[in-house]
């Protein structure tokens, strides 16, 4: 069990490093890290703590940006909770489906929550729709990034646990 936690945490830390290299806007491993952690770390507190710590450490490097950070962190927390849905059923179809769904939930939640404190769009129904429409290119990249990195994380975990004796799952 301890070896499994080391493997999962190591994969999360490795994936979080990809946030620090050049990438398309929103094509990051963050959503995949949240799902992966929620799905595979058996201790729920650690399943929440490990990805938040990885996110915070990378934010320290990238730069902190004020109280607005709370919104993406809450959205990230929702994604971790969605990872709990994958426990005991993290097959290919479920991982890909929940990855796409969590990208959409994160997009809807964060765009709505960050819509009101700004004056970029009028605070009307048309304003929120305009905000969502303007964010579609970022949503597309987020979905692609989440699906890509979830495939890499879950795939690497699976391949390592069946091929490396130190990390083999206990039967």
- Predicted local confidence at residue 1, as pLDDT: 67
Q: What is the pLDDT of residues 79-103, one digit of tens each?
A: 999 999 999 888 899 999 999 999 9
First-last CA distance in the chain: 11
Q: How far apart are CA 66 and CA 133, in angstroms?
A: 25
Q: What is the pLDDT of residues 35-63, one digit of tens each?
A: 999 999 999 999 999 999 988 888 888 88
- pTM assigned to the model: 0.87
CA nearest neighbour of 69 among 50, 52, 44: 52
Q: How far apart are CA 33 and CA 151, in angstroms?
A: 11
For the chain, the domain total comes to 1
Domain that holds residue 10: 2-167
**Cα 164–chain centre separation:** 26
């Amino acid at each position: 069990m301890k070896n499994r936690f080391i493997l999962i945490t190591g994969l999360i830390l490795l994936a979080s490093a990809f946030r620090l290299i050049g990438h398309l806007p929103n094509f990051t491993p963050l959503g995949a890290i949240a799902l992966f952690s929620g799905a595979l770390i058996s201790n729920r507190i650690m399943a929440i703590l490990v990805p938040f710590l990885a996110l915070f450490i990378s934010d320290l490097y990238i730069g902190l940006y004020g109280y607005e950070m709370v919104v993406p962190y809450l959205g990230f927390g929702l994604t971790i909770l969605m990872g709990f849905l994958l426990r005991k059923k993290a097959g290919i179809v479920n991982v890909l489906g929940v990855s796409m769904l969590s990208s959409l939930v994160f997009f809807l939640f964060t765009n709505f929550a960050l819509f009101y404190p700004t004056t970029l769009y009028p605070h009307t129904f048309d304003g929120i729709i305009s905000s969502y429409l303007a964010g579609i290119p970022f949503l597309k990249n987020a979905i692609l990034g989440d699906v890509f990195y979830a495939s890499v994380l879950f795939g690497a975990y699976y391949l390592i646990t069946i091929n490396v004796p130190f990390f083999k799952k206990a039967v």
